[in-house]
Amino acid sequence: MSRIGRNEPCPCGSRKKYKRCHGSPDAPRKSVIPPIAKALARSEAKRVQRERQQGLGKPIISAELNDTRFVAVKNRLLYSKKWRTFEDFLLDYIRTALGSEWGNAEIAKPAEERHPIMIWYQKTCVYLKERIREPGKVHAIHITAVVGACLQLAYDLYAIDHNAELQCRLLARLRNRDRFSGARYEVYVAATFIRAGFDIEFENEDDGSTTHCEFTATHRRTGKKFSVEAKRREGHRVRIGTLFNSALAKNANHTRVVFIDMNTLDDSTGIQEPPYMAKALRRLRSFEGQSLNGQARPPAYVFVTNTPWDLYLDSPTPRMAVVVEGFQIPDFKGDAKASLREIIDAREKHIEMHELMKSMTDHSTIPSTFDGEIPEYAFNPDEPRLLIGERYLIPDQDGVLKPVVVTAATVREEEKVAYCGVTFVDGRAGILKFPLSDSELAAWSRHPDTFFGVVSQRKTHVETPLEFFDFCHDAFKRESKERLLEVMADSPDFERLKTLTQAELAGIHAEHMTHAALASERDQSHSA
């Protein structure tokens, strides 16, 4: 069996070293993955991929008919012949949400008096008009700072409109220049909860008899409710302590979650924690144990963010930062000392906030496609794609095309290749490598667990004991209870293990494996 080198000629004439095989008489007679199982695997991969892009709220509901794109927004149906990407839709949607009458009134004003939203929108339109597109090709929009500010607002408004209620009062605050910044941040926070799998219900702003938080967020999976308050700094004279105390002073019916935005320039690079975040964290902790207005300060989950939407409009996209703190919640502090079991238990205890944090990382970009497809393939349908379970024709050492079925695959990013386990027509098995383009590598880096058409491990290396536990647990939770008991048969408490559920056994076995790996690592370091 030959390995296909990067520079070897491809008999099929494609720049690729393989092509899909459709009904070849020489193809393997039996599929490695049965048709029904393969269809289910593809469907599950698409679901996971869509959720990675769109979040855990309602999916984008869209269809194309007679060159017209239709998009449902809750109980309304919008349509256009111009929407080739989801970003195209968002640019029209924001005009609909805010109202053309308001937009026309803003355009009529002198440039220096226009609303920030209108400045963002006009700069975005100019950028898109000047951008060179290859004729006949569809591309995702390259996100610059101003384009990101405009599209992110549109995406956040769409998330609220599609999943909850886009209140007239909230829209009025957005249109008001003096109240825009705070309202914009509230929209961002509400949309963030929606994408993380929460239902939100805004408080009654007409009720002035008492103070209240911005909205109630209910985690759909666990049913737990949270009272959410969002504050954003305006100018450097506003201290984070002032905003935090104001948030805690609000009446809350449920566990508190406080979002505070620093709204400041960020000159830090790489993964370095910005100094202003460390300072904010120290300030928050200085309030622990102190009273507020004669009463003990209540505990709260605190998310300190920096979303400098309007500070870098003529620059590349700035980074967004977030630090999470458990105010008077000891087991929700990032630097808390704890055993592996304590860390696992604490995560389960605060699982809603952990899932919110994970979603903020997973769903930090705006989708380009309507259906969750990987853009590199959605916008280039003729691009060949490696999929586990599919048949391909590859050239052997003599240049003769031979059919193979891909049975497994992984990517070596530094080599820019995919290593694939394959089965030949005569039953032989082997490993071939296929070159990957820069766009394919970019697609793989965003969707490593669904890139090959089936759901696989999301991470191929771990850095912490908890990540190793998750890596093991992700594999063991797919094993049957009988299989888990078989591999745990030597445990001294085996009789007790037999009474546990499959989920409990998977967790225990993953924990045992993690401790074994940690012990092995310690032994190796001591021997070295």
Q: What's the structural domain count of the chain?
A: 3
Give yes or no: residues 186 and 285 share one domain: yes
| CATH code where residue 413 lies | 2.30.30
| Average pLDDT for 490-519 | 91
For residue 1, the model assigns a pLDDT of: 28
Give yes or no: residues 258 and 325 share one domain: yes
For residue 248, the model assigns a pLDDT of: 94
Element (H, E) at 306: strand 300-306
End position of a domain, from candidates 362, 391, 410:
362
453 is a domain residue: no
Query: Would the pLDDT of 271 be above 80?
Result: no
430 is a domain residue: yes
Give yes or no: residues 244 and 164 share one domain: yes
455 is a domain residue: no
Give yes or no: residues 40 and 96 share one domain: no
For residue 131, the model assigns a pLDDT of: 64
Give yes or no: residues 475 and 427 share one domain: no
368 is a domain residue: no
For residue 484, the model assigns a pLDDT of: 92
Element (H, E) at 483: helix 481-487
| Average pLDDT for 160-185 | 94
- Summarised one tens digit per residue, pLDDT across range 53-108 is 999 999 999 999 999 999 999 999 999 999 999 999 999 999 999 999 999 999 99
For residue 152, the model assigns a pLDDT of: 94
Q: Distance (Å, rounded) from C-alpha 135 to C-alpha 368?
A: 19
Query: Would the pLDDT of 500 be above 60?
Result: yes
Query: Would the pLDDT of 204 be above 80?
Result: no
Give yes or no: residues 354 and 432 share one domain: no
| Average pLDDT for 446-459 | 86
For residue 35, the model assigns a pLDDT of: 81
Q: Distance (Å, rounded) from C-alpha 336 to C-alpha 42?
A: 41
For residue 138, the model assigns a pLDDT of: 63
Read off the pLDDT band of 3 (50, 70, 90).
Answer: very low
Element (H, E) at 157: helix 145-163
412 is a domain residue: yes
- Summarised one tens digit per residue, pLDDT across range 123-135 is 998 888 766 555 5
Q: Distance (Å, rounded) from C-alpha 310 to C-alpha 313?
A: 6
Cβ atoms of 455 and 48 closer than 8 Å? yes
Query: Would the pLDDT of 315 be above 70?
Result: yes
Cβ atoms of 197 and 186 closer than 8 Å? no
Q: Which residues of 95-110 are buried (b: 16+ CB within 10 A; e: fewer)?
A: ebbbeeebbeebeeee
- Summarised one tens digit per residue, pLDDT across range 7-20 is 333 333 333 556 66
List the single range of 80-94, 394-408, 419-433 with lowest mean pLDDT. 394-408
Query: Would the pLDDT of 169 be above 80?
Result: yes
Say what the pTM is: 0.87
- Rounded (10°) angle between helices 100-107 and 86-98: 90
Give yes or no: residues 146 and 194 share one domain: yes
Give yes or no: residues 281 and 390 share one domain: no
Q: By residue range, what is the domain housing residue 358?
A: 63-265+272-362
